[in-house]
Amino acid sequence: MNKQIYPLLVAQFLSAFADNAILFAVIAMVMQATQPASWYVPALQSVFLVAFVVLAPWVGAFADQFAKARVLIVANLIKATGAGLLLLNLEPLIAYSLVGVGAALYSPAKYGILPELAGHNQLVKANSWIEGSTILAILSGMVVGAKVADYSISLALAGTVVLFLISALTTWFLPKTVSKPNLSGAKIPLFYREVRSFLNSPRSRFAVLGASLFWAAAACVRVVLVAWAPLVLMTHNASDIANLTLFLALGIIVGSALAPHLIPLNHLRRARLPAYLMALMIIGLGFSGDELTARCVLLIMGTAGGLFIVPINASLQELGQQSIGSGGAVAMQNFFQNAAMLLSVGAYTFSASLQISPINTLFALGGLLMLATFAVVLRLPDITPPVANHE
């Protein structure tokens, strides 16, 4: 592994850790300050996601126009500013949306710099390290953030500010390269043209739509668990539900580690197999009736998900670097996958309002994922040659 990857791993771990710690600090702040409306906490999560969709035409171009190492620093400073405003008791929806803006800018620079640091043969491996460390940061950030916020919200928020600043400092040691000159003109029409151009090839469509399917399914499973666990497992403790999610995340770490060995870039079509397994496990969760079975199903589901998403991310970055820019490709991916997450969670919220059982929702979600994967992989060749060798 290229040694230049290691500062990126440290920086993105700290940033992702703080992203998740700050979410639980904000939720604790809202819950302790007043009795919030039922829509308020979901709205907090939504304002974070909306930035990825709304800013997609700009953040990808920005990440490609400037050295991505410097873009990562700017993104962390924006996140730190949002956390600081929360510390100053600004309206959480406004301050946390600023953290979302920083995250929307951080993502295309973080993933976009990988093809510049890793050659073709190491790109999947680099993605597996990034994906696994991100999941680890999410898990530890949730746990530590919640515990510190229970003790002191101010301490939790101040800690996230410090972590964002340390992440920015670590990023300073990454190489400063620019992969694509700035293109003049309005960004929205340019983004539309880039989307049309990029989605022309079956491999590009599979990378973008496959990632969107994964994150839409993952987001929906996470919210369905909140209703499914009390109904089936009779658990009414939030930590018990969080423990179920832990097995899903651990599975993603395992799948991310296996992906470089099982699904190289020139055999991208193999990614359809773990996608089908993931769909079957979602359906299987609907048939689960005890906690042990549910944990096993979620672990396998997460492993399949990790095997599915890592080679797709690597393929998208490589294709993007050779066409619209790797930062632009990741911003486009963020646009589609966050829009898909908003739609899937919105559809579940609507179905719940119609009193549809979470078990039936799992059956429907698994079936839809199976059909959608079949559709997006239909024209993908069995063997795809590398775009270029950058080693």
Which pLDDT tens digit goes with each residue over 15-54?
999 998 888 788 777 767 666 554 666 677 778 888 888 8
More confident residue, 2 or 375: 375
Average pLDDT over residues 366-388: 73
Cα separation, 279 vs 30, in Å, equals 36
Cα separation, 336 vs 330, in Å, equals 10
Confidence category of residue 167, pLDDT binned at 50, 70, 90 = very high
Write down the residue that tokens 């990988």 correspond to.
114
pLDDT score recorded for residue 310: 83
Counting residues of the chain whose pLDDT is more than 70, the rounded percentage is: 84
pLDDT score recorded for residue 74: 93
Smallest CA-to-CA distance from 320 within 305, 334, 302 is with 334
pLDDT > 70? residue 84: yes
Neighbours of 20 (CB within 10 A): 21
Helix (H, G, I), strand (E, B), or coil: what is residue 153?
helix
Upper half-sphere CA count for residue 221 (Cβ side, 13 Å) = 34
Helix (H, G, I), strand (E, B), or coil: what is residue 161?
helix
pLDDT score recorded for residue 322: 66
pLDDT score recorded for residue 391: 36
pLDDT score recorded for residue 262: 86
Cα separation, 307 vs 370, in Å, equals 16
Confidence category of residue 85, pLDDT binned at 50, 70, 90 = very high
Cα separation, 282 vs 264, in Å, equals 26
pLDDT score recorded for residue 101: 93
For the ranges 83-92, 220-229, 317-326, the lowest mean pLDDT is seen at 317-326
Average pLDDT over residues 138-166: 86
pLDDT in tens, 102-150: 998 988 888 777 777 776 667 777 777 887 788 788 878 877 887 788 7
Domains of the chain, with CATH numbers? 5-172 (1.20.1250.20), 197-377 (1.20.1250.20)
pLDDT > 50? residue 356: yes
